[in-house]
Amino acid sequence: MGYRVVVAGATGNVGREMVNILAERGFPADEVAVLASSRSQGDQIEYGDTGKLLKVQNIEHFDPAGWDMALFAIGSEATKVYAPKFAAAGCTVIDNSSLYRMDPDVPLVVPEVNPDAIDGYKARNIIANPNCSTAQMVVALKPLHDAATITRVVVATYQSVSGAGKVGMDELFEQSRNIFVGDSAEPKKFTKQIAFNVIPHIDSFLDDGSTKEEWKMVVETKKILDPKIKVTATCVRVPVFVGHSEALNVEFANELSAEDAKRILREAPGIMLIDKHEDGGYATPIEAAGDDATYVSRVREDPTVENGLALWCVSDNLRKGAALNAVQIAELLGRRHLKKGNEAALIADEARETANED
């Protein structure tokens, strides 16, 4: 007997990826329900490449009783309404919004980094998925932190427009087309023109001059990885459709050479090291799009500080930064706590995790 799984927000970019990844990874689901707002009710969504079509149901009228887990990709406002209802009905919520990330009673989980944190989910029956830029960064940092203890991180992000949803992707496409034909490229979703430009502003500004996106990277890294780590971030929107990139300068308490760091990263779960000192010997968002790995390149020693490294990190923000991480949380929840599903599927899941570690 497998799980009964809900995907809420299934018509959006992240929700569709959640559905696809459930199918791709052979998640042991006996039944999958896809939910959205009333305007999408009755639409059909393909369940990966299985040929199976799922009919979209209205989340307002859906009864979560008897369902095992729900993957939420509906934004904070809707999550505030529906997550408590689902959790109270016994359906564990895995939430992609920012609403519960800093709630002390809600675990914030990246399975390769802090799998034990999931054990606290019973307090609210809710598990939080981190911010997309945080998720890929902590995957890259975790094995290095274990080896030499990170004390400080300086990160500059280069975040794709898909992080702002379909409207962000549409705006980049439309502005690029309009510029080529001489039409207006006035911004609608973004604060300035995004086509052929970069914007050092993601989310709202805070009193100290940082943005909320930058604040998220700071506090989420501390909650997931280590509260003692100092983090400063500059988050930038760039004209890339899919894939976030990050330039990281990392300081350690103990010495760690670039060669040792590469060896550690090469063996770490969830990481693909591409680092050749030659033209094209590094990862870009093009390579990361559609892939599950967090790519790391340009690992080198930082001579401006004691025990410092610089590196480049790239990942598909719709997958590891959101949908994939949510499905991995669901798999972890199943293995550690719910323990349903046929034995073969669970063994295959565990084998895949072991292979990643190897």
**Hey, which residues are catalytic here?**
132, 244
For residues 233 and 202, is the Cβ–Cβ distance under 8 A? no
3-state secondary structure of 232: strand
Annotated binding-site members = 11-14, 39-40, 101, 159, 162-163, 237, 317
> From the centroid of its chain, how far is CA 36?
20
Q: Which two tokens stand for residue 8?
A: 């809420």
For the chain, how many residues are written?
A: 358
> From the centroid of its chain, how far is CA 119?
20
Annotated binding-site members for phosphate = 101
| Positive or negative: CA dihedral 202, 100, 7, 28 | positive
CA distance 141 to 161: 24
For residues 242 and 208, is the Cβ–Cβ distance under 8 A? no
Q: What are phi and psi of 230, to 5 degrees?
A: -90, 130
Q: What single DSSP character describes residue 279?
A: T
CA distance 354 to 358: 6
Identify which of 228, 38, 239, 51 has the alpha carbon closest to the alpha carbon of residue 145: 228
Q: What single DSSP character describes residue 129?
A: P
